[in-house]
Structure 1
Amino acid sequence: MIQIAVKTLGTLARGLRVVEAVAAHQPIGLTALCQELGEDKSAMQRTLATLHEAGWIRPLADAPPRWELSTKPLVVAGRALDTSPLPARARPLLASIRDETGETAHLALLDGTTIVVVDVAEGRQMVRTALHVGAVHPPETSAAGRAIFAHLTPEGRTDLADAPGMLLTDAEYDEIRERGWSLCEGAVQQGSTSIASAVTDLSGKPLGALVVSGPDSRLTPEKYAAAGTLLRNAVAELGGGRH
């Protein structure tokens, strides 16, 4: 973690915590927010009024009002994705993977200890894997998590794991790394299969993963190798992973 030797702004930190809490529990009222964050009502009222004036939250027509996020966080996130180098470069690859496999493709990035979906190219089948930007992958059991963990040391995996007892063996992670792709058969969502290839920087540090997901009735074992190769080649085109 980068340490910045300046005094931080407590009011700004409180505002960000409130935005996160509203996103997690919306719609939510003043009293519930105070209980959730351990803040007094006077300070919380000022924070809510400030966020409302800035356009980040909006009240419902309740009495007393409950709060929900406005569309501003979505607009800001969309702009960030459009200008962030990795998601911007990955977007046409996701569309290509979707078109070639017929299934949903997405990019998940490692943010601290969390694996977050940042962009999705939805499959065009009526029955398909549905994902939304901001969804979080379980690191031990998801295809994205397994692909990322294959590029970490055993100690690094344990540090990032929510449930270390569910980690694969070192030999299984070695196999994933050598093969260039990982597999999840129904461990996260019953009836859904996912295949992933890790995106790394030039030093081999994992940044995230490209993933394709679909119903196990279509993404069947005889298609695994072809889908894995497609993902591995897409990762190579991004400039990371196995070349």
Structure 2
Amino acid sequence: MRSVRTTFQILEAIADFQPIGLSELSRKLELPKSTVQRSIATLADLGWLRPDSCASTRWVVGDQVRKLSGKVDDDGQLTAAPPPRSPRPRCAATLETVHAAVVDGLALRLVDSVDSELALRLIQPIGTRAPLYAGSAGKAVLAAWPDADVESYLDVELPPIASGTITDPETLRLELKKIRQQGYALSVNELTEGMTAVAACIQPEGSARPVATISINGPSFRITEDLHALYGEKVMTAAREIGRELEH
């Protein structure tokens, strides 16, 4: 049982810190390199991990995580994993990267991505997690929560991730109010420097909270201010379509 627990501990750590190498992972978990290496080899063989495309000695979560993410709700019950089809047709003609993420506790986990074909683009591994307070997708989810739940969430420190991350609770409250009014969320330099994202949450009728998000992501010099409202309409339309499909 100890080896099983260690294996899951390693998988969770890689999901949190990916891409990450063997030595760094061993230090973070305070485990022998040999133990970590054996578990990584097993998880990679089963498809739960894969080498990072930019550095073969660093690891990210694999396709098995993508298949499972979003299929289990807070009560441990299997659910449909949004989106039912690729997010690209939902936000066609933007030429930017389109992400679909599911709510995973107090974070979002990326479960589907159609990457831009342009040279400068945002690429993130499937399974990447992000806190709800940072980035357009997370803020879209928070904006749909009841006020009491938002206040409970904000009763913790909000550490900066990039230069534009909102770390002041009062500023974030005002931001969430704006998102509720316009129906979509915007972020600039909140998760990745130089990147802008526009997102809307997916909330099927009858669901108490959003279950997922869809977002358009790209360099800020391309997603300029004059495109924010247009892309906002695109993600809101896509989110409504997916929400209706999930109802069935």
1:139 match: 132
Q: Extract unaligned runs of 5+ from structure 1.
A: 1-8, 59-66
Q: State the number of aligned residues.
A: 214
Match of 2:117 among 116, 124, 131: 124
Give per-residue Cα distances to partners, 1:198-243, cap 9 Å, x unaligned.
1124234022311101222221111111111111111111126xxx
1:27 match: 22
Q: Extract unaligned runs of 5+ from structure 2.
A: 50-56, 72-78, 159-166
Q: Is 1:193–2:196 an aligned residue pair?
A: yes
1:166 match: 168
Match of 2:234 among 215, 230, 233: 230
Q: Is 1:182–2:182 an aligned residue pair?
A: no
Q: Is 1:12–2:4 an aligned residue pair?
A: yes
Query: Superposition pairs for residues 50-65 of structure 1, below 5 Å?
Result: 52=41, 55=45
2:161 match: none
Give per-residue Cα distances to partners, 1:82-123, cap 9 Å, x unaligned.
98733341x33x112453211111012221112222211111
> Structure 1 residues 221 and 19 mapped into 2: Cα distance closer, same or farther (>3 Å)?
closer
Which region of structure 1 is more displaced relative to structure 2, 101-110 or 134-143?
A: 134-143
Contact 1:194 1:211 in 2 (8 A): yes
1:5 match: none
Q: Radius of gyration: which is bigger?
A: 1
Q: Percent identity?
A: 19
Q: Is 1:85–2:80 an aligned residue pair?
A: yes
Match of 1:215 among 213, 219, 242: 219
Contact 1:151 1:204 in 2 (8 A): no
| Distance apart, 1:190 and its partner CA | 2.8
Give per-residue Cα distances to partners, 1:138-173, cap 9 Å, x unaligned.
422310111011011344234445635434454542
> Structure 1 residues 37 and 222 mapped into 2: Cα distance closer, same or farther (>3 Å)?
closer
Match of 1:100 among 93, 103, 107: 93
> Structure 1 residues 15 and 224 mapped into 2: Cα distance closer, same or farther (>3 Å)?
same
Which region of structure 1 is more displaced relative to structure 2, 80-89 or 174-183?
A: 80-89
Contact 2:66 2:127 in 1 (8 A): no
**TM-score, normalising length: structure 2:** 0.69
> Structure 1 residues 53 and 146 mapped into 2: Cα distance closer, same or farther (>3 Å)?
closer
Bigger RCO (CA 8 Å, 6+ sep): 2
> Structure 1 residues 184 and 52 mapped into 2: Cα distance closer, same or farther (>3 Å)?
closer
2:54 match: none
**TM-score, normalising length: structure 1:** 0.70
SS class of match (1:87) = coil
SS class of match (1:127) = coil
Give the CA RMSD over aligned residues.
3.5
SS class of match (2:144) = coil
CA–CA distance in structure 2, aligned partners of residues 132 and 125 of structure 1: 17
CA–CA distance in structure 2, aligned partners of residues 38 and 79 of structure 1: 30
CA–CA distance in structure 2, aligned partners of residues 213 and 47 of structure 1: 34
